Amino acid sequence: MNIFRLAGDVSHLVAILILLMKIWSSRSCAGISGKSQVLFALVFTTRYLDLFTVYISAYNSVMKVVFLALSYATVYLIYMRFKNTYNSENDTFRVEFLLIPVIGLSFLENYAFTPLEILWTFSIFLESVAIMPQLFMITKTGEAESITTHYLFFLGLYRALYIANWVWRYHTEGFFDQIAVVSGVVQTIFYCDFFYLYVTRVLRGKGKMSLPMPV
């Protein structure tokens, strides 16, 4: 394992922990898209179906369990524990517009036409767009709390570091995963505008990140 993948995994874990601590400490999931969190839980579920059948390393197995547990814990807090604080009226992104193309693409573009491989491919494609309901929610409300933007920053950093990981592996191992790389690049592009706003607004000390309103 290289430093870029390790740093990416840590950034991903930090992002999820920031979100969980925000919800738990404030006893509120206001501003958090439950739809995005359900999609992420679906990503981990379909990707890690091989948890009990394929062993790569202790680190790999532990991280799979951790991400599965934390993703479902987040969904539980949003839809059960603190459901009265969930802003469903602003979480209105039509997820079927993501799921239908992703399902179709998973059957058309995969490395082997087997159930596990198709589901793994589905998880890769879905992860690249799972954040869209959250970004749509921020756009709709016009602002986001700083803690929510920290979560999004580390989530985007995780994808950027994984691109560095793929570049490193290509140059050192000759390894190239076209599906993962293309999906990762697409996902990182979604964060580009957010990164700019994060650096220019949140890191300058504002409590919330307000988006520019259309004229």
Q: Can you tell me the distance from the alpha carbon of 180 to that of 164, in angstroms, rounded to the nearest whole number?
A: 13
Return all residues near 139 (Cβ < 8 A) that are at least 6 apart.
211
The model's confidence at residue 214, banded by pLDDT at 50, 70 and 90, is very low
- Kindly report the pTM of this predicted structure: 0.87
- Confidence category of residue 180, pLDDT binned at 50, 70, 90: confident
Tokens representing 150 are 């920290």
- Of 121, 26, 132, 19, the C-alpha closest to 75 is 19
pLDDT of res. 186: 83
pLDDT at 215 over 50: no
What's the confidence (pLDDT) of residue 193?
66
% of the chain beyond a pLDDT of 70 = 87
Per-residue pLDDT averaged across 188-194, rounded?
74
Given a cut of 50, whether residue 129 has pLDDT beyond it is yes
pLDDT score recorded for residue 196: 64
- Asked whether the predicted pLDDT for residue 11 surpasses 80, the reply is yes
Q: Is the pLDDT of residue 23 over 90?
A: yes
Between vectors from CA 22 to CA 122 and to CA 189, what angle results, nearest 5°? 40
Better-predicted residue by pLDDT, 73 or 188: 73
Helix (H, G, I), strand (E, B) or coil at 33: coil
Model pLDDT, residue 17: 96
- DSSP character string of 69-123: HHHHHHHHIIIIITGGG--TTT----THHHHHHHHHHHHHS-SS-SHHHHHHHHH
Q: Please state which of the ranges 114-128, 136-150, 166-180 shows the lowest mean pLDDT.
A: 136-150
Among 132, 143, 161, smallest CA distance to 202 is for: 143
With a pLDDT cut of 90, the percent of the chain lying above it is 56
Selection from 138, 150, 131 nearest residue 211 by Cα: 138
Per-residue model confidence (pLDDT) at position 38: 97
